[in-house]
């Protein structure tokens, strides 16, 4: 359990969860004597931002396995994320928890905004489109993501919910924490010159739009990680393999 002020990271529980999820294969509905297991909760968590102990959040086995596959897709140019390990499960867990809390804060900020300061549906849709494009580019395209989802019996609506959560978290980071969604041309040129981005050897003007999406996603991941580390002292995360 990762509890308030604690340094325990539930390594043994995560390792057991990796072994279980990696070896799991859904039972066939037509196999005699088998029982189809739809899903089960493997993580529960709460934080003041999500309503505290009265309103725990849950992560299912299928979703955590899918998000671990996504962590692998970001690192490997082939496959559907098979063979994820404890590091990738931990990364998926922390990413999910951070985004869920940030999305909750976004909902709260939007609900408490005046009509003048409230974001329009068009603004939120633009953020989601930009982040979705960046996300899919990094992972090798929607077909690859959908293949990883199918491997864990995640349907397209659940994938869309993940993308929507990501956009809300990004909007909140940009609005309430640090500007990340609209880097300046000066920033992009500096990144182009100095960073280990995937567009080396190509003309800046040709790759500027893709570079911007890549850079936005990079900054969001850094901001999410920093948020998670700062919030550890006030959250409780329980892994139950």
Work out the angle at residue 106's Cα, subtended by the Cα atoms of residues 103 and 108, and round it to the nearest 5 degrees.
Answer: 115
3 falls within a domain: no
Which two three-digit tokens encode residue 144? 């690859």
Looking at residue 32, what is its pLDDT?
Answer: 56
pLDDT in the model for residue 240: 84
CB of 60 within 8 A of CB of 39? yes
Overall number of domains in the chain:
1
CB 167 within 8 A of CB 131: yes
Q: Per the domain annotation, does 4 fall within a domain?
A: no
Is residue 28 classed exposed, middle or buried when 0-12, 13-18 and 19+ CB atoms within 10 A define those classes? Answer: exposed
195: domain CATH number is 1.10.4030
Contact call for residues 238 and 1 (beta carbons, < 8 A): yes
CA–CA separation, 224 and 51 (whole Å): 20
Spatial distance between the Cα atoms of 93 and 98, rounded to a whole number of angstroms: 9
Q: What are phi and psi of 4, to 5 degrees?
A: -60, 120
Residues 218, 19 contacting (CB under 8 angstroms): no
Are 77 and 143 in contact by the 8 Å Cβ rule? The answer is: no
What DSSP designation does 2 have? Answer: B
Instruction: Give the structural domain span for 116.
Output: 11-239
Q: Which residue's structure tokens are 């050897």?
A: 201
The answer to whether the beta carbons of residues 169 and 162 sit under 8 Å apart is no
Rg of the chain over all Cα atoms, to the nearest angstrom: 19
6 lies in some domain? no
Does the residue 1 lie in any domain? no
Count Cβ atoms below 10 Å from residue 7 Cβ, excluding itself: 7
Tell me the CA distances in angstroms from 64 to 67, 68, 154, 200, one per residue in order.
5, 6, 11, 33
Residue pair 241/21 in contact by the 8 Å Cβ criterion: no
Quick one: how far is CA 235 from the chain centroid? Answer: 18
Q: What was the pLDDT predicted at 115?
A: 80
Give Cα 218 to chain centroid, integer Å. Answer: 12
Task: Give 17's Cβ-side CA count (13 Å radius).
Answer: 29
Give the pLDDT of the chain (241 residues) as one tens digit per residue.
555 433 344 565 566 666 656 655 544 445 555 555 578 999 999 999 999 999 999 999 999 999 999 999 999 989 999 999 999 999 999 999 999 999 999 999 999 988 888 888 999 999 999 999 999 999 999 999 999 999 999 999 999 999 999 999 999 999 999 999 999 999 999 999 999 999 999 999 999 999 999 999 999 999 999 999 999 999 999 998 6
């Amino acid at each position: 359990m990762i509890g308030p002020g604690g340094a325990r990271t539930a390594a043994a529980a995560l390792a057991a969860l990796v072994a279980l999820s990696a070896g799991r294969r859904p039972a066939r509905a037509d196999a005699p004597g088998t029982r189809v297991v739809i899903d089960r909760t493997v993580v529960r968590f709460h934080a003041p931002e999500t309503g505290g102990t009265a309103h725990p959040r849950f992560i299912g086995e299928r979703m955590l396995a899918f998000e671990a596959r996504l962590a692998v897709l970001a690192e490997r140019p082939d496959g559907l994320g098979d063979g994820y390990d404890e590091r990738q499960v931990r990364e998926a867990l922390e990413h999910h928890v951070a985004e869920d809390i940030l999305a909750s804060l976004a909902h709260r900020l939007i609900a408490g905004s005046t009509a003048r300061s409230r974001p329009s549906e068009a603004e939120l849709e633009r953020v989601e489109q930009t982040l979705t494009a960046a996300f899919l580019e990094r992972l090798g395209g929607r077909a690859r993501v959908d293949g990883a989802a199918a491997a864990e019996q995640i349907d397209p609506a659940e994938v869309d919910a993940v993308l929507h959560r990501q956009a809300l978290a990004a909007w909140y980071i940009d609005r309430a924490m640090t500007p990340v969604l609209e880097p300046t041309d000066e920033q992009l040129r500096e990144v182009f010159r100095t960073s280990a981005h995937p567009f080396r050897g190509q003309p800046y003007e040709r790759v500027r739009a893709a570079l911007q999406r890549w850079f936005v996603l990079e900054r969001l991941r850094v901001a999410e990680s920093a948020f998670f580390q700062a919030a550890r002292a006030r959250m409780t995360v329980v892994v139950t393999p």
